Amino acid sequence: MAETITVEVTRYRPEQESEPTFESFEVPLRTDWVVLDALNYIKDQVDGSLSYRWSCRMGVCGSCGMMVNGEPKLTCATFLSHYTPGPVRVEPLTYFPIVRDLVIEMTDFLVKLRSVKPWIVREDEKPLSEGEYLQTPEQLDDYTQFSMCINCMLCYAACPVYGLDEHFIGPAAIALAQRYNKDSRDQGSEERLDILSQHEGIWACTFVGECTKVCPKNVDPAGAIQQYKLTATKEWFKDFLMPWRSR
């Protein structure tokens, strides 16, 4: 195996340039190194000004999402040796504004996530004296898959509709809304329906399916969205045929 591999990294320093450029670095090619190790090597040994996000380095925090050779990946879970002989191109996540180097502006995602109320919503609170909310394994199974989301935004980087449409809420936010809708302890489906069934909310989705393909946690956001379309449609028909029913 070769000693080193070339890593091409996006550089964007808004104070000195108006467009991103690429800078190449020679990085040791170790079998156990992931792309994040390469970035840390560059920052520690070569150019301390390289900016990027990372944290747990083991695929659970969702911080280190970047485009590696055009595919959205968690850089802590992507081996350098997979890309021999190289070069490996590391770019910030697509469809997000670039703040600096590999750091993207993620406020849009956070705003949309918050808008779907990703928490247990109760109409009536159970007093503490009555004990915990009980849940069978089957009830847990209903939403477990969607709860695996680590908010890494790889799905947003893969979704062309998110890239094109300002109002589309996006895969992860909808999957997380489903995680709560399907939770037997939650009573907030109606509230979420109002937000999600907005014109663009979920309806801009055309089931490209790329979000599910790139998800490192097998959340299957595309499936969540289609299931939600079905639910929202059933609710629409119920409202249409029985307009008197109380919401």
- Interface residues with other proteins (CB under 8 A) are 12, 14, 18-20, 70, 94-95, 97-100, 105, 137-138, 141, 160-161, 163-165, 193-195, 197-199, 201, 203-204, 206-210, 213, 220, 222-223, 226-227, 229-230, 232-233, 235-237, 239-240, 247
The distance of closest approach from Cβ of residue 205 to other proteins in the complex, given in angstroms and rounded to an integer, is 9
Nearer to other proteins, 19 or 130 (CB): 19
Nearer to other proteins, 152 or 214 (CB): 214
Q: Would you state the structure tokens that stand for residue 84, as one six-digit string? A: 């021999």
The distance of closest approach from Cβ of residue 86 to other proteins in the complex, given in angstroms and rounded to an integer, is 21
The distance of closest approach from Cβ of residue 26 to other proteins in the complex, given in angstroms and rounded to an integer, is 26
The distance of closest approach from Cβ of residue 210 to other proteins in the complex, given in angstroms and rounded to an integer, is 6
The distance of closest approach from Cβ of residue 230 to other proteins in the complex, given in angstroms and rounded to an integer, is 6
Nearer to other proteins, 29 or 162 (CB): 162
Nearer to other proteins, 39 or 100 (CB): 100
The distance of closest approach from Cβ of residue 75 to other proteins in the complex, given in angstroms and rounded to an integer, is 20
Spatial strand order of the sheet with 65-68 comes to: 21-28, 4-11, 88-91, 65-68, 71-74
Nearer to other proteins, 29 or 225 (CB): 225
Burial class (CB in 10 A: 0-12, 13-18, 19+), 57: middle
Compute φ and ψ for 111, nearest 5 degrees: -60, -45
Residues 6+ apart with CB under 8 A from 138: none
Rounded-to-5 percentages of helix, strand, coil across the chain: 40, 15, 45
Q: How many helices (H) and strands (E) does the chain have?
A: 9, 7
Nearer to other proteins, 37 or 210 (CB): 210
- Cα 212-217-220 angle, rounded to 5 deg: 30
